[in-house]
Structure 1
Amino acid sequence: MDFVKHIFATIIGVLVTFVIIFVVFLVFIGALVQQSTSQSAAIVPDNSVLYMSLDHEIVEKTESNPFGDLNIPGYGASKSIGLNDILKRIQAAKEDDNIKGIYLNPSTINVGFASLKEIRDALVDFKTSKKFIVAYSEMYSQKAYYLASVADKIYVNPEGAIDFRGLSSSVVFMKDALDKLGVEMQVVKVGTYKSAVEPFLLNEMSSANREQVTSYLNSIYASFLTDIAEGRKISTDSLDRIADAFLVRNAEDAVKYKFVDAKLYKDELLDEIKDRLKVEKDKDISAVSLLTYSPKEKENSSKNKIAVLYAYGNIVDGEGTTGDIGGDKLSRQLRKLRKDDDIKAVVLRVNSPGGSALASDIIWREVELTRKVKPVMVSMGDYAASGGYYIAAAADSIFAEKGTLTGSIGVFGMIPNFKGLLNDKLGIHIDEVSTGKFSNLMSDMDRPMTAEERSIVQLEVDRIYNTFMKRVADGRKISVQRVDSIGQGRVWTGNQALELGLVDKIGNVQRAVQAAAYKAKLADYAIVELPEKEDPFSSILSTSKEKIKTWLFAEELGDYQKYIYDIRNALQHTGMQARIPYTIEIY
């Protein structure tokens, strides 16, 4: 009996100790967060420059990240910033008398072309203040050079390089790998171009898919060249010829073809900036990083408010997590905005490749109801395709960037068959008892679907596709036949979508806000961004296991992590999906 008591007391002691250690850990983290937060607001001295590298993670909207300033040995820091804050800080720097210019130091920028265009446009607007922008890098990626092309002067390290070869888009195909594993992906779809399933069925692009990728890639490339041509005063034909022959590879080539203004070492670049600031050579430059620049926001006490509601990530059923669009969660937010009399208009910012067809329809319904009460505008980010377009279709007006990937109006169902893996390779067999002929439809994973079962699933996919087309037809005031002709799962750029009538204007989120204000007849209004940031302590408690694993292993996986995540996410998305063909990487 004493032995049992001793064991019990030991267990209780261990549990109490664990709880105490956990609480102390949270207090410690909280103290670090509070300290980093209090130090994050950088004081900007007079005659300063804003430093922008953009080599950190760029997300759609800045999220609470209690670990962002913690540098853990072996893992580094996980700094990130939202596109929303990048744009606001560039605008604030334009109006900040203490900031005299921007030192742009880009190398690799991990963001889509639509978001990149918004940042570039903000820099173009910054130049109207007559303040300078100087760009310098040891190595410019194509996206980095696209951004740098807006600068007054572009410099490169004498031994540096510029990557300028034209754009390409790649897809990872897994058919042979699945065949070797004994896994068959049973696919039912609608849409000639609905290519989300191709990586599981083929080892290369279908002709239809290659056609659409070629089309939207050329559209993005045309805009890419046009903006660089305007910035550097080089014709688009010359740029295309230079890229096609890969004539610019090193710093010498860059000077020869007028891609940069000069070759400089870092000390020479700093002297150049000192001259612009009229700072003596032996003095330091006063610089503030975009990450820590925290300008005081202008207060607007107007009772009239325009809500900018961010919807980014995969569309999933239920609540979802940070980085996902939960159908129930976003619908609840829309209902709340609809009933709030202070909210006079809503701008839904969509950056999503799509996802659950059911969740998309649930969100669509709330957008439709809200539009009947107050203006609703949609601003599209890098992606607003398939389910992302579904939830946008009911808005009063849709704004997209030229490089936005949208459309992909189509539906597919994907049911894995693990018979070869389970039965033949692992020797695992499943037996069951059912009460009906179709009781185990889509749940029995160790056999192929019968012809009758496949016919039933196809009918459901067709029904959802017809509903999708009807939603678009009603929202865009065009016929279902017209939607079908430009649908079929095909992806379009914002430029192409404008010509087809799928979007109304080319423009960023600010243009959507201005349109919302005009429709609501507001001369004075305040902007409210939603969802609100979590406080740091809540963010710690809500940090998911998946997010922690991603954070810990991101450095080790490097560029390969995106392929692993693509495969994992694709295998998770079974059932009826309204989703863009795949994660599109453009280099």
Structure 2
Amino acid sequence: MLKERLKLPKDKSLPMVDYRKYSGVRRWTLGLTGYKDQIAVIRASGSISRVRGPFSTRGTGIIAEDIIEKIQTVRESKKYKAVIIRIDSPGGDALASDLMWREIRLLADSKPVVASMADVAASGGYYMAMGTGIIVAENLTLTGSIGVVTGKFNLGKLYEKIGFNKEIISRGRYAELTAAEQRPFRPDEAELFAKSAQNAYKQFRDKAAFSRSMHVDKMEEVAQGRVWTGNDAASRGLIDAIGGLSRAVAIAKQKANIPQDQEVTLVELVKPSPSLPEILTGIGNSLVGADRILKQLLDELAVSDGIQARMDGIMFQKLEGADYSSPILTMLKDYLGSF
């Protein structure tokens, strides 16, 4: 039948290709997957956490362990000529930000890496960006906020209101540093917290100076937790170029020695959408008792010794419509409003 459709003589044999040989053909040579040269795009959007929490599902915020896994995959792959990290984040966990910065630096040692900053890349978000070779931002991208914030909840009055009592058995002078949320800091505890925050800030500032090839004193002038627009950040050496994702692609092509008039395939490492069981699990977790809610609130500060690389003002307030807003605060507010 095939010979008839091809109008070939019946006595002529057809050339055959073994399936294993056929499956080994690169698809781009047949025009099936776009263009030969590929640039990986890693999206990092939302608040930064070290690991996935009980209230989070896949695609919720920036989970450091997930981003690091993607970075390592891209670094080990030879098919990507360059990498673009698309960042839209106000920051979050300081240690998680530092771990991702290190992996991004290692990635930048193996192939061109460009940071493309969207609406906001502040504190931990900028921490990630400064690990790349080139930083691109929009004119009004909120940039910088090189600083840290720390503290703990003092829930003594709340516990009195809901009739909750907590007793702690501890050994060691600072063993209750973050566990005793039913009381304020002692003077020596507050001093230790302040020193820890100062050390974290110096590490952040010094790494920013190193990453931007800037003297520490000059970086100190633009750091101290201050936030700049993209234009202001460019004039102060915090970013390299103004533009969006297309500008980042053009720079990535240049760094990878790909002609500007040559098309490339952008391979976006997309986070999978949450499955139905995960959604139902999240709903179930949201219906737990007040003690679980309070514990999660405390855990958000307890992680990384309570030190957060966040843009000031975002740590404790809910941002309407943002995917990094925490539903826990709203749940607690509704719960307390029932009394």
TM range (shorter): 0.7 to 0.9
The structure 2 residue matched to 1:578, chosen from 309, 328, 337, is 309
Q: Aligned partners of 2:38 and 2:103: how far apart in 1?
A: 19
- CA-CA distance at 1:453 after TM superposition: 0.8
Q: Aligned partners of 1:328 and 1:433: how far apart in 2?
A: 33
Go from structure 1 to structure 2 and tell me whether the alpha carbon gap of 1:542 and 1:522 turns closer, same or farther (over 3 Å shift): farther
Go from structure 1 to structure 2 and tell me whether the alpha carbon gap of 1:573 and 1:428 turns closer, same or farther (over 3 Å shift): closer
Go from structure 1 to structure 2 and tell me whether the alpha carbon gap of 1:532 and 1:313 turns closer, same or farther (over 3 Å shift): closer
- CA-CA distance at 1:323 after TM superposition: 2.8
The structure 2 residue matched to 1:529, chosen from 244, 259, 268, is 268
Q: Provide Cα deviations, 1:28-68, integer angstroms capped at 9, x if missing partner.
A: xxxxxxxxxxxxxxxxxxxxxxxxxxxxxxxxxxxxxxxxx
The structure 2 residue matched to 1:491, chosen from 202, 223, 227, is 227
The structure 2 residue matched to 1:506, chosen from 242, 248, 251, is 242
Structure 2 unaligned runs (5+)? Answer: 1-30, 287-295, 321-339
Q: Aligned partners of 2:218 and 2:297: how far apart in 1?
A: 30
- CA-CA distance at 1:570 after TM superposition: 8.3
Q: Aligned partners of 1:485 and 1:547: how far apart in 2?
A: 46
The match for 2:211 is: 475
The match for 2:15 is: none
- CA-CA distance at 1:549 after TM superposition: 10
Go from structure 1 to structure 2 and tell me whether the alpha carbon gap of 1:378 and 1:548 turns closer, same or farther (over 3 Å shift): farther
Go from structure 1 to structure 2 and tell me whether the alpha carbon gap of 1:336 and 1:549 turns closer, same or farther (over 3 Å shift): same
- Which residue identity lines up with residue 71 of structure 2 in the other structure? L
User: Is the partner of 1:522 in helix, strand or coil?
Assistant: coil
Q: Aligned partners of 1:436 and 1:571: how far apart in 2?
A: 21
- CA-CA distance at 1:318 after TM superposition: 1.3
Tell whether 2:148 aligns with 1:408: no
- Which residue identity lines up with residue 407 of structure 1 in the other structure? G
User: Is the partner of 1:543 in helix, strand or coil?
Assistant: helix
The structure 2 residue matched to 1:316, chosen from 44, 49, 52, is 49
- Which residue identity lines up with residue 38 of structure 2 in the other structure? K
Q: Aligned partners of 1:342 and 1:503: how far apart in 2?
A: 28
The structure 2 residue matched to 1:439, chosen from 146, 169, 175, is 175
- Which residue identity lines up with residue 526 of structure 1 in the other structure? T
- CA-CA distance at 1:393 after TM superposition: 0.6
The match for 2:34 is: 300
- CA-CA distance at 1:387 after TM superposition: 0.3
Go from structure 1 to structure 2 and tell me whether the alpha carbon gap of 1:326 and 1:438 turns closer, same or farther (over 3 Å shift): same
User: Is the partner of 1:345 in helix, strand or coil?
Assistant: strand
- CA-CA distance at 1:572 after TM superposition: 6.8
Q: Normalization by structure 2: what TM-score?
A: 0.73
The match for 2:118 is: 381
Q: Aligned partners of 1:314 and 1:496: how far apart in 2?
A: 24
Q: Provide Cα deviations, 1:498-529, integer angstroms capped at 9, x if missing partner.
A: 11111111100111011011101023432101
The match for 2:332 is: none
Go from structure 1 to structure 2 and tell me whether the alpha carbon gap of 1:432 and 1:570 turns closer, same or farther (over 3 Å shift): closer
Q: Aligned partners of 2:240 and 2:229: how far apart in 1?
A: 13
Q: Normalization by structure 1: what TM-score?
A: 0.43
The match for 1:456 is: 192
Q: Aligned partners of 1:364 and 1:329: how far apart in 2?
A: 14
The structure 2 residue matched to 1:399, chosen from 116, 136, 147, is 136
Go from structure 1 to structure 2 and tell me whether the alpha carbon gap of 1:532 and 1:414 turns closer, same or farther (over 3 Å shift): closer
Q: Aligned partners of 1:435 and 1:466: how far apart in 2?
A: 30
- CA-CA distance at 1:546 after TM superposition: 4.7
Q: Aligned partners of 1:571 and 1:439: how far apart in 2?
A: 16
- CA-CA distance at 1:532 after TM superposition: 5.2
Q: Aligned partners of 1:578 and 1:518: how far apart in 2?
A: 32
Residues 168 and 180, structure 2, Cα contact 8 Å, conserved in 1: no
Larger Rg: 1
Go from structure 1 to structure 2 and tell me whether the alpha carbon gap of 1:430 and 1:570 turns closer, same or farther (over 3 Å shift): closer
Q: Aligned partners of 1:533 and 1:417: how far apart in 2?
A: 38
User: Is the partner of 1:411 in helix, strand or coil?
Assistant: coil
- CA-CA distance at 1:471 after TM superposition: 1.5
Q: Provide Cα deviations, 1:72-130, integer angstroms capped at 9, x if missing partner.
A: xxxxxxxxxxxxxxxxxxxxxxxxxxxxxxxxxxxxxxxxxxxxxxxxxxxxxxxxxxx
Tell whether 2:92 aligns with 1:355: yes
Q: Provide Cα deviations, 1:533-582, integer angstroms capped at 9, x if missing partner.
A: 45xxx7333336557999xxxxxxxxxxxxxxxxxx98774221111123
Q: Aligned partners of 1:571 and 1:432: how far apart in 2?
A: 15
User: Is the partner of 1:412 in helix, strand or coil?
Assistant: coil
Q: Map of 1:162-311 to 2, 5 A cutoff?
A: 299-302=33-36, 304-311=37-44
| RMSD (Å), alpha carbons | 2.7
Structure 1 unaligned runs (5+)? Answer: 1-296, 551-568
Go from structure 1 to structure 2 and tell me whether the alpha carbon gap of 1:328 and 1:533 turns closer, same or farther (over 3 Å shift): closer
The match for 1:342 is: 79
Report the more deviating stretch, 315-324 or 353-362: 315-324
- Which residue identity lines up with residue 202 of structure 2 in the other structure? N
| Higher strand fraction (1 or 2) | 1
Residues 152 and 298, structure 2, Cα contact 8 Å, conserved in 1: no
Moved over 6 A (4+): 547-550, 569-572
Q: Aligned partners of 1:429 and 1:540: how far apart in 2?
A: 38
User: Is the partner of 1:430 in helix, strand or coil?
Assistant: coil
User: Is the partner of 1:515 in helix, strand or coil?
Assistant: helix
| Alignment length (residue pairs) | 268
Go from structure 1 to structure 2 and tell me whether the alpha carbon gap of 1:358 and 1:544 turns closer, same or farther (over 3 Å shift): farther
- CA-CA distance at 1:429 after TM superposition: 3.5
The match for 2:292 is: none
Go from structure 1 to structure 2 and tell me whether the alpha carbon gap of 1:433 and 1:547 turns closer, same or farther (over 3 Å shift): closer
User: Is the partner of 1:414 in helix, strand or coil?
Assistant: coil
Go from structure 1 to structure 2 and tell me whether the alpha carbon gap of 1:547 and 1:432 turns closer, same or farther (over 3 Å shift): closer
Go from structure 1 to structure 2 and tell me whether the alpha carbon gap of 1:582 and 1:546 turns closer, same or farther (over 3 Å shift): farther
- CA-CA distance at 1:486 after TM superposition: 0.9
The match for 2:291 is: none
